[in-house]
Amino acid sequence: MIESTTTILTEESSGIKLDPIEERILKDQISVTKKKESYIALYRFATKLDWIIMLMGLAFSAAAGTAMAGRSVLFGIMSDYFIRLQIHTISTNEFSEKSNYLFLVYVYFAVFIFVATYISLTTWVYTGERIARQIREQYFRAVLIQNIAYFDKYGSSEVVTRITSDIHLVQDGISEKISLAFLYISHFIASFIIEFTISWKMTLVISCIIPFLAINSSLMNKYSAIFTKRILDFYSRAGIIAEESISTIRVAVAFGAQKKLSDLYDAYLDEAKKEGFKKSLLVGFTLGIMFFGINSISSFSFLYGSTMVINNEISFGQVVSIFNLIGNVFFSLTTFFDYIQAIGLATGASSKLFETIDRAPSIDIASDTGVKPKTLAGHIQLKNIKFIYPTRPDVEILNNISLDIEPGSTVALVGSSGSGKSTIASLILRFYDPHSGGIFLDGHNIKSLDLIWLRKQIGFVSQEPVLFKTTIAENVSYGLIGSIYENLPNNEKREMIENACKKANAHDFIMKFPDKYETMVGEHGILLSGGQKQRIAIARAIIKDPRILLFDEATSALDTQSENIIQNALDQTSKGRTTIVIAHRLSTIRNATKIIVINKGVIMESGTHEELMDKKGDYSKFVETQKIIQTLKAEKNILKENFNILNSNISSLKDEVTTSFTANDINYHQTNLITRASFHASSHSNLVQQNSDVEIGLNHGDHNYTVLEMIKKILFIDRSEFLVLSIGIISSIINGCLCPTFGIMLANVFHAFTKTGDALHISFFDEENHSTGILTSHLSLDVTYINGLAGITLGNLLHVTVMIFASIIVSFIVGWKLTLVCLCSILIMIGAGGLRIKMLSNLQQKTKKAYEYSTQIACESADNIRTVAALTCENNLWERYHNLLDEPMRQSIKNAFLASIPFAFANCVNFFITALAFWYGSILLMNNEYDLKKMITVCAVLIMGSSFTGRFFAYAPDMVKAKSASDYIMTLLERVPNIDTWSQNGEKIKTVKGHLKFSNVHFHYPTRPNFLVLQGLNLEIKPGQNVALVGPSGCGKSTIINLVEMFYQVTNGTITIDEIDIAKMNVNNLREHIALVSQEPSLYDMTIKENIFMGCLPGQNITQNDLEKVCRQANIHEFIDGLANGYDTRIGEKGIQLSGGQKQRIAIARALIRNPKILLLDEATSALDSESEKVVQNALDAAAHGRTTIAIAHRFSTIQNADIIFVIKDGKVHEQGTHQELLELQGIYFMMIQKQHLGESN
């Protein structure tokens, strides 16, 4: 599966001969220098202050670790006193005096360790946050300045993975875990030195294991980093599928493609799982060897120490000290290796980040060496341009094109889809560099111009309008960035915004919104209709009064009325400016100074409209194709007779442009996509499964699981892994039972030496918190958090938990009095740890929320990088991102200073417990209530148990992060949807006639409860009818299609298919009979064949002939057949390798391949050139026979043959009938068709 989907188009062998210089130009636009992994490189952004603070933190870590080793020495001294008391070589008073003194020493050590641990933790969390913030900012800045070809190759989805999951791993590797690792390695070193001081012979014997452990550890870290990098690469690829699936969820739902997308996502995660399994084998094997070595040398130390005592080479107390020091070595090394794994993870995660940070783009917007001319006439020249997209080296897009665009002229580019028109616009904006030839502006090669200055001179509107997730006013104001108007007072800027919107015919519908210009448009402008988005994009382009205008199908999404008003405004705006217009509607370019016809990257002809019509060439054919055929000619007299009616009503037309929100509101399918994808990162997900469309919001805090509940959820989230989990759990339990065994063994040694007299011792997406960026952030980050708890950490937690309880149980059995006294201190330690978890949990929620918004900015910027580049708003976005990191920074520092207090206390309280145990134990011993064996057994077992209690709470940050992630994901998983695609409930029908009926339907989108889109809609569509919906942009046409697909439930009224209420039908079964082609085609980063197969029904057998048949119907087969890999050609993220028309035709083929009984066409041909539109429209007309078809269109030539045309206004049907009947009615439809006809004949 993976092999068939990972060979990208750029890896194909090019069939085009290029010289070395041309090859270098192409390669430089997509090349990335691989970075050698280095842990030290993680600190490259650390300041001198950071280094000072980190070194100070390390010094305190070393001091705390060294002081912790002192407990073993005190233990040995105390043991000697106990032995002497037992054999009567010391008086009771002297023993009491010595024990009281040692008790105070323990207390002093505890206070010192508390202070040192607190300082070391807070310093490293502080610097870790500072450095991680620098990496975030530097990475985001680097992303913003990359050239467009870089995104063509690597995709924008990778940015989310890197800026969330990868940077989290890096921060983990440079923060408190390093401080703690240094503390425990210092503990190890100090213990070793003390051992050597006490008995160099015994120490040398023990030291033979050290080189072995060091080699074992270095090999583990080295290969662990390699496996980590591979895992992250597969996660990144899976992230692209997840991001595309979430952002185009309607397509996935409409075609029932959830399982296919899930399988593709699973394929990448299965590869990651394989690498993870290899890594777990490596880590488990090396840790097993390490523990074997440590336990073996501990056993040997008993034997060798006993021999030395018998030979009077050392005292029993010294043996006890050494034995405890060996325990310190065991404890510190195992804990050290737990923390040191963060270094391997951080190093592996950093390489991709630094590759991007260090990449110098071939087209560098950050360079300030370019020329900035003081004046600009707007003379554009393209000289002998040859161009190949760097990611498509087998296809030549432009072949030796030369253009001369005079200052102030309007030049139109026309031609079939994929001919190279949009490519010319991209080259003028310098999104790419041609591999041969040059582009000149007023005589300057644009390569020599300052890139930001160049783009500031151009107002650009793309075919697919891009809006940012903010208010309408702010979206329009983005057009002012870099202009002389950018810093105007807010009131003057608002006036400019409103004037631009009036010119773009957007002001009226904006003022109908409750919040007017402060209305949020949603992610990608999803809360607005296509026409509304386009008008705001036009306002944004013209607001700064640019010298050059670039319109790439700027009015393609508009209804006739809006198009004519805006076209007149654009014609006025274009006067005195150099304007380049790309259009398929030839009526919009009729008045151009020059029209250039392009075909397959070559200029076929050029001239004015009249000149080209006289030539009877390609342009003339285009015009003839677009005429409203013979019916309009027959109706011409009617139109002339009613011309006066049109004039009298023209002013009222402006009021007929109504508004609606075609919101992509919350649906549960998207929710489950993210949650199931999340958990599959550590098991097997069912991405995009359990689809349901929920029309209510999702509160993050619906569930608040305890740590125990969370671990239980994690354990049972994938029962297929239960056998492996069971083995791990049993092993951890056995491992945990070893601690009290060591305590009993030590007591028995004490007893034996006493006898001999010697001394021994864890509508959804439309809402503010549910955007693609935020949810993909959860997808990558929450998985990392949960996986961090579900892997080796969970095993350690089980091990430590069992160890604690086993120690307490054994202690109670042996001596309940001493256990009861010491247990109070242990409970205080547990309370301190619990307090830390509670504090971290509260602060984690605030920090996570703050990071979500910054991640959204990063995701949205990368996803819309062309718009970002054209608007030159890189610095503006970076500043927003920078400011959004302030709150997480403050919260993290607050975390450090508050949550470190209970941890530092838990780390030192073990000294108090030891002191208390010996003090009270000595009293019991002197009162003859306990003998020495009993007292030492309880003390040793409790001391070891309390040591591991502190270790348990060292995992508090991991537990808190996992708990937060689990709360969020479990809330999604356990949500009960209103519309459940995968439910077996509901009526299922094998065949559909296609009889649709809307009865008094009222509807509002969940995010706009006070704004009714449909207001008592009544319409009936009989089986097999070809129906058209027309009306102004935003009147509710697309909403009707949304409701037929059952993306939402109606507010009131009913919708029936074949007299069955669709609310009572099985929704998955319903959608199997429907195919959808939307206005903005959504494709996936896979091959052309795989994209078309997304439309297949489950179990549908499709042959190559079937595939080619639907592609011929969609007029795309010839193009596909001409590609080097044909139908196996990858098309890049969201189909970026294709033109808008090519994407639309593939989307049409995807709909036709399932042979649906109901066909829904939402502006299905809006992105096509005239010739393709005619061919495809004929195919759609033919496809409509025998099936019910609902078509939304602004070009009336595509719907004039419809059986019924419904004119929608204000959410109701105002007119209905055939084309001829509506013309005779002389109402709204008549005026709209009159307007379009006049526009084409002028």
- Residue 974 burial (CB count, 10 A): 11
User: Which whole-number Å values give the CA distances from 800 to 289, 295, 809, 999, in the listed order?
Assistant: 19, 17, 14, 65
- Residue 406 burial (CB count, 10 A): 15
412 sits in which H/E element: strand 410-414
- Residue 708 burial (CB count, 10 A): 8
Distance CA 1180, CA 487 (A): 51
One-letter identity of residue 145: I
Are the beta carbons of 562 and 535 closer than 8 angstroms?
yes
pLDDT at 1001: 92
Query: Which residue is listed with tokens 């002192």?
Result: 70
- 3-state secondary structure labels for all residues of 480-494: HCCCCCCCCCHHHHH
pLDDT at 14: 43
pLDDT tens for each residue of 190-245: 988 888 888 888 878 777 777 777 787 777 777 777 787 787 777 777 777 776 77
Are the beta carbons of 1207 and 1216 closer than 8 angstroms?
yes
Are the beta carbons of 1088 and 1043 closer than 8 angstroms?
no
Are the beta carbons of 159 and 858 closer than 8 angstroms?
yes
Q: Which residues pair with 1001 in a beta bridge?
A: 1017
CA dihedral 889, 894, 899, 904 (to 10 degrees): 100
Are the beta carbons of 878 and 908 closer than 8 angstroms?
no
Mark out the alpha helices in 311-415 (DSSP H runs): 316-358
Closest by CA position to 719, among listed 766, 684, 748, 678:
684
- Residue 162 burial (CB count, 10 A): 27
Q: Which residues pair with 1029 in a beta bridge?
A: 1192, 1206
Are the beta carbons of 1234 and 648 closer than 8 angstroms?
no
**What phi and psi, each to the nearest 5 degrees, are found at residue 291?**
-65, -40
Sequence-ordered list of residues with C-beta below 8 angstroms from that of 268, at least 6 positions apart, any chain: 2, 234, 235, 237, 238, 241
CA angle 1070, 1073, 1077 (to 5 degrees): 105
Are the beta carbons of 961 and 980 closer than 8 angstroms?
no
What are 624's two structure tokens?
Answer: 């003839």
Distance from the Cα of residue 74 to its chain's centroid: 53
Q: Which residues pair with 1130 in a beta bridge?
A: 1087
Closest by CA position to 1002, among listed 1036, 1026, 978, 979:
1036
Return the DSSP state at 1160.
Answer: E
Distance CA 510, CA 520 (A): 11
Are the beta carbons of 299 and 209 closer than 8 angstroms?
no
Distance from the Cα of residue 551 to its chain's centroid: 31
pTM of the predicted model, to two decimals? 0.68
Closest by CA position to 704, among listed 894, 836, 899, 841:
841
Are the beta carbons of 316 and 758 closer than 8 angstroms?
yes
Closest by CA position to 454, among listed 464, 444, 463:
444
Query: Which residue is listed with tokens 């018998």?
Result: 310
pLDDT at 160: 72
pLDDT at 448: 93
- 3-state secondary structure labels for all residues of 1022-1050: CCCCEEEEECCCCCCHHHHHHHHCCCCCC
Distance CA 1073, CA 1023 (A): 13
Return the DSSP state at 471.
Answer: B
Please count the helices (runs of H) and the strands (runs of E) in the chain: 46, 20
Distance from the Cα of residue 1009 to its chain's centroid: 29
Sequence-ordered list of residues with C-beta below 8 angstroms from that of 235, at least 6 positions apart, any chain: 161, 165, 268, 269, 272, 681, 780, 783
One-letter identity of residue 879: E
Sequence-ordered list of residues with C-beta below 8 angstroms from that of 885, at least 6 positions apart, any chain: 133, 136, 137, 850, 854
pLDDT at 672: 39
1161 sits in which H/E element: strand 1158-1162
- Residue 724 burial (CB count, 10 A): 11
User: Which whole-number Å values give the CA distances from 507 to 205, 292, 497, 565, in the listed order?
Assistant: 86, 76, 9, 13
- Residue 575 burial (CB count, 10 A): 9
Distance CA 688, CA 115 (A): 50
Are the beta carbons of 800 and 952 closer than 8 angstroms?
yes
Closest by CA position to 390, among listed 149, 617, 203:
149
Average pLDDT, consecutive stretches of 10 residues, N- to C-terminus, the chain (1242 residues): 34 60 85 81 92 95 90 80 78 83 86 92 91 92 90 78 81 88 90 84 77 77 76 74 69 71 76 78 77 74 77 78 74 76 83 88 86 91 92 85 92 85 92 92 93 91 83 92 86 91 88 88 78 87 89 72 70 82 77 89 90 87 62 40 40 36 35 36 36 36 52 52 51 47 41 38 47 55 58 63 79 86 77 72 68 80 87 89 84 77 78 82 84 80 71 64 66 62 76 90 80 87 90 82 85 90 85 83 85 84 88 86 86 78 85 88 72 69 79 76 88 89 86 64 46
Q: Which CATH code for domain 380-656?
A: 3.40.50.300
CA angle 877, 883, 884 (to 5 degrees): 90
One-letter identity of residue 722: F
Dihedral sign, Cα of residue 1119, residue 1122, residue 1124, residue 1127: positive
CA angle 963, 966, 971 (to 5 degrees): 130
Q: Which residues pair with 396 in a beta bridge?
A: 388
Domain extents in the chain: 32-360+727-762+771-973, 380-656
CA dihedral 958, 961, 967, 968 (to 10 degrees): -140
Q: Which CATH code for domain 32-360+727-762+771-973?
A: 1.20.1560.10
- What is the pairing mode between strands 1026-1030 and 1204-1209? parallel
Mark out the alpha helices in 87-175 (DSSP H runs): 92-145, 148-154, 157-161, 167-172
